[in-house]
A and B are shown apart, each in its own frame.
Chain A
Amino acid sequence: MNCTKCKTKAVIGLPRHNAAFCKTCFNGFVHDQVARAIKSEKMFGKDDRILVAVSGGKDSLALWDILLKLGYKADALYVNLGIGTYSEQSHAKVTKFAEAAAASYGAVLHLHTVEEEAGAGIKELAQLIHRPTCSTCGTIKRYQFNRVAIEQHYDVMATGHNLDDEAARLLGNVLRWQEEYLDKQSPSLPASVEGFAKKVKPLYRLSERELAAYAVLNRIDYIVEECPMAKGARTLLYKEVLNRLETESPGTKQAFYCGFLDKQRKPEAAPTTMAEKDQAMLHPCSACGQPTTAEVCSYCKMMARAKTVAPH
């Protein structure tokens, strides 16, 4: 397989774009996708101070790396959740990236340790208050990222949510018709009230596989192990289902999520009933009289064609 752009040996195929790229052209593709996301969703400018939420995983470290390489002023915050060796390892990966790569751009890593403030890790906290660990974790991370962004006067907070994350979340919300959550699925959420930082997701145009490939190709050392608390999470099932669909029909995830965003952007037309739509579009077929949108209905066209090609 050769690179679609420069024709040298490709390192990754992207069926949804009907393309394959070598390392250099793939890096260019990834940077272009992020730049397009930032511009089209008016996320931030070159003078804005950005706080990236980093976890030690591929997406957030790749996001920090990309923003710095694109010339943005991006610092990061790591929240140590106190999940045993998993947190120790992810903390080490973040520190390593901050020192080896981000520091050369003058970027700063902030740190918040849950155990220091709450006296226990999130697993113990969740047990204490009888709430699922993942929801406790989400609440703590959202709160701390917002707090640091406001206190340290950052203009915007960026998270590493990718196309798979957003498509899986959308699928979950649609399956349960949780319409109240759909408004929050935009890749750019404004600072709606005093005390809320603006939140953006610059990776929403890139799939999880593309971001993992970016991390591998650019030697970003991330934590490959899954969070032990996420085992059996429904989001993982949605992602698995979407990836099966994507393999059979490339572009499904993008069409699903980006189609939703397009629909959200369009101003709502006055509601019309199905009968009103039919009355406006349909009229009798000139051959048989049944309703059709065309001069001759598709049944009459099909039968006329069958008669012309039938053996006599």
Chain B
Amino acid sequence: MVSAKAWEVQRGPLPLAYAAAYDPPMQVQLSHPTRTVEVKGPKKVKDLLRELNLVVEAHLVIKGDNLVTEDEMLYDGDQIEIRPVISGG
């Protein structure tokens, strides 16, 4: 099955009613404790962090294998990891 984004690249915009049902929400992996939450896209990285009440300075956002900046747009179907960076006792 192709993603909604790939379908749109090949055939043009997906009708809204289908688009909502086609891709699952983005999967966001969090740590301490390890868990996954679903968040509806599209959404900017900084808005995702704000929605989850997380401070930018204490986290990295990783999409697939790549780091993404706060202004990057995230979409439904994306696999996201929000990694805390604070350590030490």
Contact = CB atoms under 8 A, between A and B. Distances in A.
Interface stretch (B2-10, B11-19, B35-43, B65-73): B65-73
Interface string B63-87: 0001111111000000000011111
A1 B59 CA distance: 18
A57 B83 CA distance: 13
B57 A233 contact: no
B8 to A, nearest CB: 21
Contacts of A246: 57
A12 B85 contact: no
Contacts of A10: 69
Nearest to A250: B57
A233 B89 contact: yes
Nearest to B68: A11
Max chain A C-beta neighbours (<10 A), residue from B60, B72, B87: B87
Interface string B34-57: 000000000000000000000111
Interface residues of B, number: 23
A58 B59 CA distance: 13
Interface string A208-248: 11011100110000001111011001011001100110110
Helix, strand, loop or mixed for chain A's interface? helix
Contact of A230 (B56, B60, B72, B89): B89
Nearest to B49: A247
A224 B83 contact: yes
Interface in A64-122: none
Contacts of B83: 212, 216, 224
A154 B50 CA distance: 47
Interface string A15-56: 000001000000000000000000000000000000000000
B85 A212 contact: yes
Contact of A208 (B31, B71, B85, B89): B85
Interface string A123-159: 0000000000010010000000000000000000000
A244 B62 CA distance: 21
A170 to B, nearest CB: 14
B67 A12 contact: yes
A208 B84 CA distance: 10
Contacts of A235: 88-89
A226 B69 contact: no
B64 to A, nearest CB: 12
B20 interface: no
Max chain B C-beta neighbours (<10 A), residue from A59, A137, A216, A246: A216
A14 to B, nearest CB: 10
A259 B11 CA distance: 58
Contacts of B71: 1, 13
A4 B62 CA distance: 21
Interface of B: 31-32, 55-60, 62, 66-72, 83-89
